[in-house]
Structure 1
Amino acid sequence: MSEEALQSFFESVPGQVLTVATIFLLLVLIMRSSKKKNDVSVLVKSAILMGVAFVLNQVTLFRMPQGGSITAFSMFALFLVGYLFGPRQGILAGMAYGLLDLVINPYVIHPIQIFMDYPLAFGAIGIGAILRETKQGMITGYLVGVLGRYLVTVVSGIIFWGMYAAEGFSAVSWSFFYNMTYMLPEAVATVAILLIPQVRQFFEKYKQE
Protein backbone atom coordinates (compact mmCIF):
# COMPACT_ATOMS: atom_id res chain seq x y z
CA MET A 1 0.00 0.00 0.00
CA SER A 2 1.37 3.40 -0.97
CA GLU A 3 2.14 6.20 1.48
CA GLU A 4 -0.81 8.24 0.17
CA ALA A 5 -3.20 5.30 0.51
CA LEU A 6 -2.10 4.60 4.07
CA GLN A 7 -2.46 8.23 5.07
CA SER A 8 -5.90 8.42 3.47
CA PHE A 9 -7.05 5.24 5.21
CA PHE A 10 -6.13 6.43 8.70
CA GLU A 11 -7.74 9.79 8.03
CA SER A 12 -10.94 8.09 6.83
CA VAL A 13 -13.89 7.04 8.98
CA PRO A 14 -13.23 3.27 8.55
CA GLY A 15 -9.59 3.74 9.55
CA GLN A 16 -10.49 5.78 12.61
CA VAL A 17 -13.20 3.30 13.62
CA LEU A 18 -10.71 0.44 13.38
CA THR A 19 -8.18 2.34 15.46
CA VAL A 20 -10.73 3.29 18.11
CA ALA A 21 -11.90 -0.33 18.30
CA THR A 22 -8.30 -1.40 18.91
CA ILE A 23 -7.98 1.22 21.66
CA PHE A 24 -11.14 -0.16 23.29
CA LEU A 25 -9.75 -3.69 23.15
CA LEU A 26 -6.52 -2.58 24.81
CA LEU A 27 -8.48 -0.84 27.58
CA VAL A 28 -10.44 -4.04 28.20
CA LEU A 29 -7.17 -5.94 28.43
CA ILE A 30 -5.94 -3.42 31.01
CA MET A 31 -8.97 -4.21 33.15
CA ARG A 32 -8.67 -7.99 32.73
CA SER A 33 -4.92 -8.19 33.23
CA SER A 34 -4.99 -7.06 36.84
CA LYS A 35 -4.77 -9.57 39.69
CA LYS A 36 -8.52 -9.57 39.99
CA LYS A 37 -10.42 -11.12 37.10
CA ASN A 38 -11.97 -7.76 36.28
CA ASP A 39 -11.01 -4.52 37.92
CA VAL A 40 -13.08 -1.63 36.62
CA SER A 41 -11.25 0.82 38.90
CA VAL A 42 -7.96 0.07 37.14
CA LEU A 43 -9.63 0.69 33.79
CA VAL A 44 -11.17 3.97 34.94
CA LYS A 45 -8.00 5.29 36.57
CA SER A 46 -5.89 4.25 33.59
CA ALA A 47 -8.29 6.01 31.22
CA ILE A 48 -8.15 9.15 33.38
CA LEU A 49 -4.35 9.14 33.35
CA MET A 50 -4.36 8.65 29.58
CA GLY A 51 -6.70 11.63 29.32
CA VAL A 52 -4.40 13.70 31.52
CA ALA A 53 -1.44 12.68 29.36
CA PHE A 54 -3.34 13.70 26.25
CA VAL A 55 -4.26 17.11 27.71
CA LEU A 56 -0.70 17.72 28.89
CA ASN A 57 0.55 16.73 25.45
CA GLN A 58 -1.44 19.66 24.06
CA VAL A 59 0.47 22.02 26.35
CA THR A 60 3.41 22.25 23.98
CA LEU A 61 6.40 24.16 25.28
CA PHE A 62 8.31 23.68 22.03
CA ARG A 63 7.40 21.83 18.82
CA MET A 64 10.08 20.36 16.59
CA PRO A 65 9.82 21.01 12.84
CA GLN A 66 9.86 17.33 11.86
CA GLY A 67 7.61 16.00 14.62
CA GLY A 68 8.00 15.61 18.37
CA SER A 69 7.62 18.27 21.03
CA ILE A 70 8.53 19.20 24.58
CA THR A 71 5.31 18.89 26.56
CA ALA A 72 4.17 19.57 30.12
CA PHE A 73 5.06 16.19 31.71
CA SER A 74 2.79 14.11 29.43
CA MET A 75 5.21 11.15 29.42
CA PHE A 76 5.14 11.01 33.22
CA ALA A 77 1.33 10.90 33.28
CA LEU A 78 1.46 7.93 30.94
CA PHE A 79 4.24 6.26 32.95
CA LEU A 80 2.08 6.53 36.08
CA VAL A 81 -0.33 3.89 34.76
CA GLY A 82 2.41 1.28 34.89
CA TYR A 83 3.87 2.60 38.11
CA LEU A 84 0.55 2.46 39.94
CA PHE A 85 -0.88 -0.75 38.48
CA GLY A 86 2.00 -2.73 36.99
CA PRO A 87 4.10 -2.89 33.81
CA ARG A 88 1.57 -4.84 31.78
CA GLN A 89 -1.10 -2.22 32.36
CA GLY A 90 1.45 0.49 31.61
CA ILE A 91 2.48 -1.02 28.29
CA LEU A 92 -1.14 -1.57 27.21
CA ALA A 93 -2.11 1.96 28.23
CA GLY A 94 0.86 3.36 26.31
CA MET A 95 -0.13 1.43 23.21
CA ALA A 96 -3.71 2.66 23.52
CA TYR A 97 -2.48 6.23 23.92
CA GLY A 98 -0.27 5.88 20.87
CA LEU A 99 -3.27 4.76 18.82
CA LEU A 100 -5.25 7.72 20.16
CA ASP A 101 -2.47 9.96 18.91
CA LEU A 102 -2.76 8.19 15.55
CA VAL A 103 -6.47 9.02 15.41
CA ILE A 104 -5.90 12.69 16.25
CA ASN A 105 -2.75 13.34 14.27
CA PRO A 106 -2.00 10.56 11.76
CA TYR A 107 1.21 10.78 9.79
CA VAL A 108 1.96 7.46 8.16
CA ILE A 109 4.19 6.24 5.37
CA HIS A 110 4.62 2.52 6.11
CA PRO A 111 2.78 -0.15 8.16
CA ILE A 112 5.86 -0.83 10.32
CA GLN A 113 6.38 2.91 10.83
CA ILE A 114 2.80 3.17 12.11
CA PHE A 115 3.47 0.46 14.69
CA MET A 116 6.81 1.89 15.78
CA ASP A 117 5.88 5.57 16.00
CA TYR A 118 2.53 5.11 17.70
CA PRO A 119 1.72 2.01 19.83
CA LEU A 120 5.28 0.69 20.24
CA ALA A 121 6.99 3.99 21.09
CA PHE A 122 4.41 5.01 23.68
CA GLY A 123 3.96 1.46 24.95
CA ALA A 124 7.68 1.37 25.68
CA ILE A 125 7.16 4.02 28.37
CA GLY A 126 5.35 1.39 30.42
CA ILE A 127 8.43 -0.85 30.49
CA GLY A 128 9.90 1.36 33.19
CA ALA A 129 7.27 0.07 35.60
CA ILE A 130 9.29 -3.13 36.05
CA LEU A 131 11.35 -1.05 38.51
CA ARG A 132 8.34 0.16 40.49
CA GLU A 133 9.28 -1.85 43.59
CA THR A 134 12.94 -0.82 43.64
CA LYS A 135 14.54 2.02 45.56
CA GLN A 136 13.85 5.29 43.73
CA GLY A 137 11.70 3.19 41.41
CA MET A 138 9.57 6.14 40.34
CA ILE A 139 12.53 8.13 39.02
CA THR A 140 14.57 5.27 37.59
CA GLY A 141 11.47 3.62 36.14
CA TYR A 142 10.41 6.84 34.47
CA LEU A 143 13.86 7.29 32.95
CA VAL A 144 13.87 3.70 31.67
CA GLY A 145 10.45 4.30 30.12
CA VAL A 146 11.61 7.48 28.41
CA LEU A 147 14.72 5.66 27.20
CA GLY A 148 12.51 2.91 25.78
CA ARG A 149 10.45 5.41 23.82
CA TYR A 150 13.59 7.22 22.70
CA LEU A 151 15.23 4.07 21.33
CA VAL A 152 12.12 3.01 19.41
CA THR A 153 11.79 6.50 17.94
CA VAL A 154 15.48 6.59 17.03
CA VAL A 155 15.23 3.29 15.14
CA SER A 156 12.13 4.50 13.34
CA GLY A 157 13.92 7.74 12.48
CA ILE A 158 16.88 5.88 11.03
CA ILE A 159 14.71 3.57 8.92
CA PHE A 160 11.93 5.87 7.77
CA TRP A 161 12.99 9.50 8.26
CA GLY A 162 16.67 9.49 7.34
CA MET A 163 15.93 11.46 4.16
CA TYR A 164 15.15 14.48 6.37
CA ALA A 165 18.54 14.48 8.10
CA ALA A 166 20.09 17.92 8.38
CA GLU A 167 23.15 18.72 6.32
CA GLY A 168 26.27 17.24 7.87
CA PHE A 169 24.39 14.46 9.68
CA SER A 170 23.91 10.84 8.71
CA ALA A 171 20.50 9.22 9.19
CA VAL A 172 21.80 7.54 12.36
CA SER A 173 23.43 10.57 13.99
CA TRP A 174 20.52 12.84 13.06
CA SER A 175 17.92 10.49 14.54
CA PHE A 176 19.89 10.15 17.80
CA PHE A 177 20.34 13.92 18.08
CA TYR A 178 16.93 15.05 16.85
CA ASN A 179 14.86 12.85 19.15
CA MET A 180 17.03 13.73 22.13
CA THR A 181 16.39 17.45 21.67
CA TYR A 182 12.74 17.17 22.72
CA MET A 183 12.68 14.11 25.00
CA LEU A 184 15.69 14.99 27.17
CA PRO A 185 14.48 18.45 28.34
CA GLU A 186 11.09 17.05 29.36
CA ALA A 187 12.75 14.14 31.18
CA VAL A 188 15.14 16.46 33.04
CA ALA A 189 12.31 18.79 34.09
CA THR A 190 10.21 15.84 35.26
CA VAL A 191 13.02 14.31 37.32
CA ALA A 192 13.66 17.71 38.91
CA ILE A 193 10.06 17.73 40.14
CA LEU A 194 10.21 14.09 41.26
CA LEU A 195 13.27 14.80 43.40
CA ILE A 196 10.89 16.58 45.77
CA PRO A 197 10.00 13.89 48.35
CA GLN A 198 6.45 15.19 48.88
CA VAL A 199 5.69 14.76 45.17
CA ARG A 200 6.81 11.13 45.14
CA GLN A 201 4.94 10.40 48.38
CA PHE A 202 1.74 11.78 46.90
CA PHE A 203 1.77 9.22 44.08
CA GLU A 204 3.05 6.39 46.28
CA LYS A 205 -0.24 6.47 48.20
CA TYR A 206 -2.11 5.23 45.14
CA LYS A 207 0.26 2.47 44.06
CA GLN A 208 -1.51 -0.90 43.84
CA GLU A 209 0.43 -3.80 45.23
Structure 2
Amino acid sequence: MFKKLLELNETTLAILAVLFIIGITGIIMFKKRKQVNLTTKMMVYGSLCISLSFVLSNIRLYRLPQGGSVTPASMLPMVIYAVVFGPLPGIIAGVAYGLLQYIQASYVVHWAQIIIDYPLAFGFLGLAGLYRKNLIVALVIGTFGRFIMHFLSGIIFFGHYAGDTPVALYSLIYNGSFLGVDLLICIVVSFMPQIQNLVRELKKKSSLLNTY
Protein backbone atom coordinates (compact mmCIF):
# COMPACT_ATOMS: atom_id res chain seq x y z
CA MET A 1 0.00 0.00 0.00
CA PHE A 2 2.83 2.41 0.89
CA LYS A 3 4.50 1.61 -2.43
CA LYS A 4 1.28 2.50 -4.28
CA LEU A 5 1.09 5.83 -2.43
CA LEU A 6 4.60 6.67 -3.58
CA GLU A 7 3.54 6.06 -7.17
CA LEU A 8 0.78 8.69 -7.01
CA ASN A 9 1.52 12.03 -8.62
CA GLU A 10 1.57 15.30 -6.70
CA THR A 11 -1.89 16.33 -7.85
CA THR A 12 -3.50 13.12 -6.62
CA LEU A 13 -1.69 13.35 -3.30
CA ALA A 14 -2.82 16.96 -2.92
CA ILE A 15 -6.45 15.99 -3.56
CA LEU A 16 -6.20 13.21 -0.97
CA ALA A 17 -4.64 15.67 1.47
CA VAL A 18 -7.54 18.11 0.97
CA LEU A 19 -10.07 15.37 1.64
CA PHE A 20 -8.13 14.18 4.69
CA ILE A 21 -7.88 17.71 6.17
CA ILE A 22 -11.58 18.37 5.55
CA GLY A 23 -12.43 15.06 7.22
CA ILE A 24 -10.30 15.73 10.31
CA THR A 25 -11.65 19.27 10.61
CA GLY A 26 -15.18 17.97 10.26
CA ILE A 27 -14.63 15.48 13.09
CA ILE A 28 -13.25 18.20 15.38
CA MET A 29 -16.10 20.58 14.59
CA PHE A 30 -18.68 17.80 15.01
CA LYS A 31 -17.42 17.25 18.55
CA LYS A 32 -17.62 20.98 19.26
CA ARG A 33 -21.05 21.61 17.77
CA LYS A 34 -23.08 20.92 20.95
CA GLN A 35 -20.95 23.42 22.87
CA VAL A 36 -21.84 26.35 20.63
CA ASN A 37 -24.95 28.50 20.60
CA LEU A 38 -24.88 31.08 17.84
CA THR A 39 -26.12 34.17 19.65
CA THR A 40 -27.08 37.56 18.27
CA LYS A 41 -23.91 38.99 19.81
CA MET A 42 -21.76 36.47 17.95
CA MET A 43 -23.46 37.24 14.65
CA VAL A 44 -23.13 41.00 15.14
CA TYR A 45 -19.43 40.76 16.01
CA GLY A 46 -18.96 38.32 13.15
CA SER A 47 -20.52 40.76 10.68
CA LEU A 48 -18.31 43.58 11.97
CA CYS A 49 -15.14 41.50 11.69
CA ILE A 50 -16.02 40.27 8.21
CA SER A 51 -16.75 43.84 7.09
CA LEU A 52 -13.49 45.15 8.54
CA SER A 53 -11.45 42.35 6.96
CA PHE A 54 -13.19 42.92 3.64
CA VAL A 55 -12.42 46.66 3.69
CA LEU A 56 -8.77 46.03 4.59
CA SER A 57 -8.46 43.40 1.86
CA ASN A 58 -9.36 46.07 -0.70
CA ILE A 59 -6.18 47.94 0.23
CA ARG A 60 -3.63 45.85 -1.62
CA LEU A 61 0.00 46.67 -0.89
CA TYR A 62 1.05 44.10 -3.48
CA ARG A 63 -0.86 41.69 -5.71
CA LEU A 64 0.48 38.52 -7.31
CA PRO A 65 -0.43 37.59 -10.91
CA GLN A 66 -2.27 34.31 -10.19
CA GLY A 67 -4.13 35.55 -7.14
CA GLY A 68 -3.03 36.40 -3.62
CA SER A 69 -2.08 39.80 -2.25
CA VAL A 70 -0.40 41.54 0.66
CA THR A 71 -2.82 43.66 2.68
CA PRO A 72 -2.70 45.81 5.84
CA ALA A 73 -3.59 43.04 8.32
CA SER A 74 -6.87 42.00 6.67
CA MET A 75 -6.70 38.57 8.36
CA LEU A 76 -6.45 40.02 11.86
CA PRO A 77 -10.17 40.79 12.49
CA MET A 78 -11.12 37.24 11.46
CA VAL A 79 -8.49 35.74 13.75
CA ILE A 80 -9.58 37.95 16.65
CA TYR A 81 -13.16 36.80 16.13
CA ALA A 82 -12.06 33.15 16.26
CA VAL A 83 -9.96 33.79 19.38
CA VAL A 84 -12.89 35.44 21.17
CA PHE A 85 -15.70 33.08 20.14
CA GLY A 86 -13.92 29.84 19.26
CA PRO A 87 -13.04 27.78 16.17
CA LEU A 88 -16.50 26.80 14.92
CA PRO A 89 -17.93 30.36 14.79
CA GLY A 90 -14.54 31.43 13.39
CA ILE A 91 -14.75 28.91 10.56
CA ILE A 92 -18.34 29.90 9.75
CA ALA A 93 -17.36 33.58 9.60
CA GLY A 94 -14.27 32.68 7.57
CA VAL A 95 -16.34 30.81 5.00
CA ALA A 96 -18.62 33.85 4.63
CA TYR A 97 -15.58 36.07 4.26
CA GLY A 98 -14.12 33.70 1.67
CA LEU A 99 -17.27 33.92 -0.42
CA LEU A 100 -16.98 37.72 -0.34
CA GLN A 101 -13.37 37.40 -1.45
CA TYR A 102 -14.50 35.26 -4.38
CA ILE A 103 -17.07 37.87 -5.40
CA GLN A 104 -14.60 40.72 -4.90
CA ALA A 105 -11.51 39.62 -6.82
CA SER A 106 -11.38 35.95 -7.69
CA TYR A 107 -8.85 34.14 -9.86
CA VAL A 108 -10.64 31.07 -11.18
CA VAL A 109 -9.36 28.15 -13.23
CA HIS A 110 -11.72 25.39 -12.00
CA TRP A 111 -14.88 25.11 -9.94
CA ALA A 112 -13.15 22.93 -7.34
CA GLN A 113 -10.36 25.50 -7.05
CA ILE A 114 -13.01 28.09 -6.10
CA ILE A 115 -14.03 25.93 -3.13
CA ILE A 116 -10.46 25.31 -1.96
CA ASP A 117 -9.10 28.83 -2.45
CA TYR A 118 -12.06 30.76 -1.07
CA PRO A 119 -14.56 29.26 1.42
CA LEU A 120 -12.15 26.54 2.59
CA ALA A 121 -8.96 28.60 2.73
CA PHE A 122 -10.53 31.56 4.49
CA GLY A 123 -12.69 29.29 6.60
CA PHE A 124 -9.54 27.68 7.94
CA LEU A 125 -8.55 31.04 9.40
CA GLY A 126 -11.09 30.08 12.06
CA LEU A 127 -8.72 27.37 13.28
CA ALA A 128 -7.03 30.21 15.11
CA GLY A 129 -9.73 29.67 17.72
CA LEU A 130 -8.15 26.34 18.67
CA TYR A 131 -5.60 28.30 20.71
CA ARG A 132 -7.19 31.28 22.41
CA LYS A 133 -4.58 32.12 25.04
CA ASN A 134 -2.18 33.97 22.76
CA LEU A 135 -3.11 36.09 19.74
CA ILE A 136 0.28 35.63 18.07
CA VAL A 137 0.06 31.84 18.23
CA ALA A 138 -3.54 31.99 17.03
CA LEU A 139 -2.45 34.11 14.06
CA VAL A 140 0.17 31.53 13.11
CA ILE A 141 -2.34 28.67 13.38
CA GLY A 142 -5.01 30.48 11.36
CA THR A 143 -2.60 31.60 8.67
CA PHE A 144 -1.10 28.13 8.43
CA GLY A 145 -4.59 26.67 7.97
CA ARG A 146 -5.25 29.09 5.11
CA PHE A 147 -1.79 28.44 3.66
CA ILE A 148 -2.36 24.67 3.53
CA MET A 149 -5.45 25.13 1.35
CA HIS A 150 -3.74 27.57 -1.02
CA PHE A 151 -0.66 25.33 -1.12
CA LEU A 152 -2.70 22.28 -2.14
CA SER A 153 -4.68 24.32 -4.65
CA GLY A 154 -1.41 25.50 -6.17
CA ILE A 155 -0.29 21.90 -6.66
CA ILE A 156 -3.58 20.74 -8.13
CA PHE A 157 -4.55 23.67 -10.35
CA PHE A 158 -1.50 25.88 -10.94
CA GLY A 159 1.27 23.39 -11.61
CA HIS A 160 1.65 24.52 -15.23
CA TYR A 161 3.08 27.83 -13.97
CA ALA A 162 5.93 26.04 -12.20
CA GLY A 163 8.03 25.42 -15.31
CA ASP A 164 11.10 23.39 -14.37
CA THR A 165 10.53 24.01 -10.66
CA PRO A 166 8.95 21.14 -8.70
CA VAL A 167 5.24 21.89 -8.38
CA ALA A 168 5.18 21.56 -4.59
CA LEU A 169 8.17 23.90 -4.22
CA TYR A 170 6.59 26.42 -6.60
CA SER A 171 3.32 26.39 -4.63
CA LEU A 172 5.21 26.67 -1.35
CA ILE A 173 7.19 29.72 -2.51
CA TYR A 174 4.27 31.40 -4.28
CA ASN A 175 1.74 31.11 -1.47
CA GLY A 176 4.29 31.52 1.30
CA SER A 177 5.54 34.77 -0.22
CA PHE A 178 2.34 36.77 0.26
CA LEU A 179 0.92 34.93 3.27
CA GLY A 180 4.23 35.18 5.12
CA VAL A 181 4.31 38.96 4.67
CA ASP A 182 0.61 39.23 5.54
CA LEU A 183 1.22 37.23 8.72
CA LEU A 184 4.18 39.40 9.67
CA ILE A 185 2.09 42.56 9.27
CA CYS A 186 -0.70 41.04 11.39
CA ILE A 187 1.78 40.11 14.13
CA VAL A 188 3.27 43.60 14.19
CA VAL A 189 -0.19 45.20 14.40
CA SER A 190 -1.31 42.74 17.08
CA PHE A 191 1.46 43.98 19.39
CA MET A 192 -0.25 47.36 19.56
CA PRO A 193 -1.63 47.96 23.09
CA GLN A 194 -4.99 48.96 21.60
CA ILE A 195 -5.35 45.58 19.89
CA GLN A 196 -4.28 43.66 22.99
CA ASN A 197 -6.76 45.61 25.13
CA LEU A 198 -9.52 45.08 22.57
CA VAL A 199 -9.05 41.31 22.61
CA ARG A 200 -9.04 41.21 26.41
CA GLU A 201 -12.22 43.29 26.63
CA LEU A 202 -14.02 41.18 24.03
CA LYS A 203 -13.06 38.02 25.88
CA LYS A 204 -14.40 39.42 29.14
CA LYS A 205 -17.70 40.32 27.51
CA SER A 206 -18.04 37.03 25.70
CA SER A 207 -20.33 34.55 27.44
CA LEU A 208 -18.48 31.80 25.53
CA LEU A 209 -15.08 32.52 27.06
CA ASN A 210 -14.88 29.18 28.81
CA THR A 211 -16.88 27.16 26.27
CA TYR A 212 -13.91 25.47 24.59
TM bucket normalised to smaller: 0.7 to 0.9
Give CA deviations for 1:29-71 in whole Å, capped at 9, x if unaligned. Answer: xxxx796755212111101110000000011111111210000
Separation in 1, partners of 2:36, 2:125: 24
Give, in angstroms, the shift of residue 131 of structure 1: 0.3
Q: Unpaired segments of 5 or more residues in structure 2? A: 1-32
Distance (whole Å) between structure 2 residues aligned to residue 194 and residue 161 of structure 1:
33
- Pairwise CA distance, 1:195: 3.1
Q: Deviations over 1:61-93 (max 9, x none)?
A: 111112100001001111122112111110000
CA distance in 1, matches of 2:80, 2:57: 15
* The one of 160, 180, 190 aligned to 2:186: 190
Q: Is the 8 A contact 1:129 1:142 kept in 2?
A: no
User: Paired residues, what number?
Assistant: 173
Identity of aligned residues (%): 34
**Do the aligned partners of residues 69 and 36 (structure 1) sit closer, same or farther apart at CA in structure 2, a change above 3 Å counting?**
closer
Distance 1:151 1:37, change over 3 A: closer
CA gap 1:186/1:44 in 2 versus in 1, 3 angstroms? same
Aligned partners of 2:37, 2:182: CA distance in 1, in Å?
A: 36
Would the alpha carbon gap of residues 106 and 195 (structure 1) be closer, same or farther in structure 2, given more than 3 Å must change? closer
SS of 2:67's partner is coil
- Hey, what's the Cα distance between the residues in 2 that align with 1:172 and 1:55? 32
Does residue 146 of the first structure (1) align with residue 143 of the second (2)?
yes
Mapping of residues 101-112 of structure 1, within 5 Å: 101-112=101-112
Residue equivalent to 1:97? 97
Matching residue's letter, 2:61: L
Using the TM superposition, give the Cα deviation of residue 142 of structure 1 relative to its aligned residue in structure 2, in angstroms. 0.9
**Residue 171 of structure 1: aligned partner:** 167
| Cα offset, 1:115, TM superposition | 1.1
* Deviation >4 Å, runs of 4+: 33-38
The answer for the alignment partner of 2:11 in structure 1 is: none
Q: Is contact 2:59–2:71 with CA below 8 Å preserved after alignment?
A: yes
Q: CA RMSD in A?
A: 1.9
Counterparts of 2:50 and 2:34, CA distance in 1: 17
Correspondence for 1:120: 120
Whether the aligned pair in 1 keeps the contact of 2:67 and 2:107 (CA below 8 Å) is: no
How far does residue 193 in structure 1 lie from its aligned partner after superposition?
Answer: 2.7
Structure 1 residues not aligned, in runs of 5+: 1-32
Match for residue 202 of structure 2?
Answer: 206
Look up the equivalent residue of 2:59 and give its one-letter code: V
- TM-score (normalised: structure 2): 0.75
2:17 alignment partner in structure 1: none
User: In the alignment, is the contact (CA less than 8 A) between 1:113 and 1:156 conserved in 2?
Assistant: yes
Distance 1:87 1:175, change over 3 A: same
